[in-house]
Amino acid sequence: MNEQNFYQFSTLTVLALLVAFYGGTYLLTLLIKKKKENTDAFMVSNHQIGFGLGAASMTATWIWAASFYGAATSGYTYGISGPLHYGLWGALMILFIYPFGRRFRELAPNAHTLGELIHARHGSSSQLILASSNILGSIISLMVNFTASGALVSVLSPLSFQAGVVIAGVGVLSYTLWSGFRASVLTDFAQLMAMMAVAILIIPAVLFALGGPSTLSDGMSLLTSEQANLFSMDAILNQGAPFFVAVLAYAIGNQTISQRLFAVREDHIKPTFITATIGYGAIVIGLGMIGLMALMTGMEPIDGDMNNLIPQMVSLYLPPVFIGLFFVLVIGSLSSTADSDLSAMSAIVMADVYGKNIAKNKPDPTKMLFIGRLTMIVATLIGVILASFSMDILIMLVFVGALWGAIVFPVIASCFWDRVTNAAFTWAVVAGLLMFCIARFELLPMVSVVAVLFELLAAVGGGVVLGLMAFGFCGRRIGLIVAALSAIALAFFCVGFLRDYTVLLASLMAYGVSTLVCVGISLLSSSKFDFTQIDQNVINYDPVKLPQTD
């Protein structure tokens, strides 16, 4: 197979599709455009998003370009269990944030970012650590989505990779710039409806274009024993477990998620997150199966680039109408997440940087909105530049999630335990990130005492991950018991074994080290924090309220 065999649209057709999509999206946002924008509406829609828009926005935001391309890569690499590991754990992590999100909202009902809550709890240094990590994560997310656009356009048209990147960047910025988060939520709903409709058509169309289930049955002979195993240890250790750990960090540390948590009406939080969990899992697992189909037909990705798998499958086996629908599907998915990243970064700079640290809770609303929009422009420019390097999506996804892993325990502990101090939070994150980098990039040889130490710290991290999940749904006592027993059991399993799985080792170490440092420093302090102070210090920046949105 070679690139010349693939169906390509003409330049004019692709440009028409892109103009129709982004032009239509822009016109949709004109329905909510106001002459004088409200700062709280720009950041969190005045905390009044209803169930329908909330669930759709959460689902569309979580289903980004990496959900398609990463799930397909997982299916192609690890076989039958690959898409399940990608979609199931990602869906579970949407649900995971729910119990902790209720606590965040209870402590700071008027918050726009999680950083504002942490500022009220610890002060500027901890808040800026969280804000910086979120900005870094959102920049990389933008890069990933723009990269996906470039790969799609370059495979399905004569246009270059760079042209696809630039068009996506300009298009997303055009409809998000004025109304911010409100525009993101409104367009998410429309984009999700389109994605669901197209996905329902595309997945069976590819299957039957290949010859139906019988063809895939014949293709089983091309799979290795691990790829054919639904419970493949190779898939679990190299994909499932690292991704599980990474998306747990995403659920807690990502501002695009917490922004929707603070925007949804409090009485709609539970159904919103449950619905988004189901919607994400169903769509992503299905689309990941396209990568498995590519594996079973013996397809080789163009230039060895896994990002090309889904575009190749669609362009090879489907007629032009379906290829056009697929084009809209991917553009919609990457745009829904890219506009969320722009909204998240603008809120962070507006609230965490300007509102709290420069204006000291007395910001100028006009200047605040200007700063938010300027942030979107700068972030888009950076994302477009970085996307030009065309990095592997799955690797970047795991890397960013692992970096956020160092923040998870300090954030959650700060919201439940009154002994956690600013020093404990700060040093926990710094130590977790440092040890993660040492392990991830193998700056020390993974042998002898060093390897055993790192594996034991990773076992602690595994206990923390399982313990936090148990704590969220079953309470503090059960959480502590699960964490302790899991860490002990994992210690026997990890020593002498986990050193061969660098990504998982490094990811778990970020959790383990940050937890040990946070708990250790907190226990040295005798002071206790009054959680009622948080609500008093986290304010709305504009008293004007908009009508509720359903």
User: What pLDDT shows up at residue 549?
Assistant: 47
Percent of the chain with pLDDT over 70: 94
Dihedral (CA of 541, 266, 255, 513) sign: positive
Report whether pLDDT(34) > 80.
no
Percent of the chain with pLDDT over 90: 38
User: What pLDDT shows up at residue 3?
Assistant: 46
User: What pLDDT shows up at residue 225?
Assistant: 87
Q: How many other CB atoms are found less than 10 A from the CB of residue 328?
A: 18
Report whether pLDDT(394) > 80.
no
CB 365 within 8 A of CB 541: yes
DSSP-H helix ranges across 33-109:
39-44, 51-62, 65-78, 82-107
User: What pLDDT shows up at residue 390?
Assistant: 64
Q: Which residues pair with 264 in a beta bridge?
A: 49
pLDDT band at 543 (very low <50, low <70, confident <90, very high): low
CB 496 within 8 A of CB 448: no
> What residues does each domain of the chain span?
20-392, 417-527
- By C-alpha distance, which of 140, 106, 401 is closest to 248? 401
CB 419 within 8 A of CB 525: yes
- By C-alpha distance, which of 534, 431, 464, 536 is closest to 252? 464
Mean pLDDT for all residues in the chain: 87
Report whether pLDDT(393) > 70.
no
User: What pLDDT shows up at residue 136?
Assistant: 82
Residue-wise pLDDT for 365-377, tens only, equals 889 999 999 999 9
Least confident window among 1-15, 438-452, 510-524: 1-15
Least confident window among 35-44, 174-183, 361-370, 447-456: 35-44
Residue 213 burial by Cβ neighbours in a 10 Å radius (0-12, 13-18, 19+): exposed
Residue 318 tokens, joined? 């489907």
Report whether pLDDT(140) > 50.
yes
Whole-model pTM: value is 0.86
Secondary-structure class of domain 20-392 per CATH: mainly alpha
**What is the spatial distance between Cα 280 and Cα 273, in angstroms, rounded to a whole number?**
10
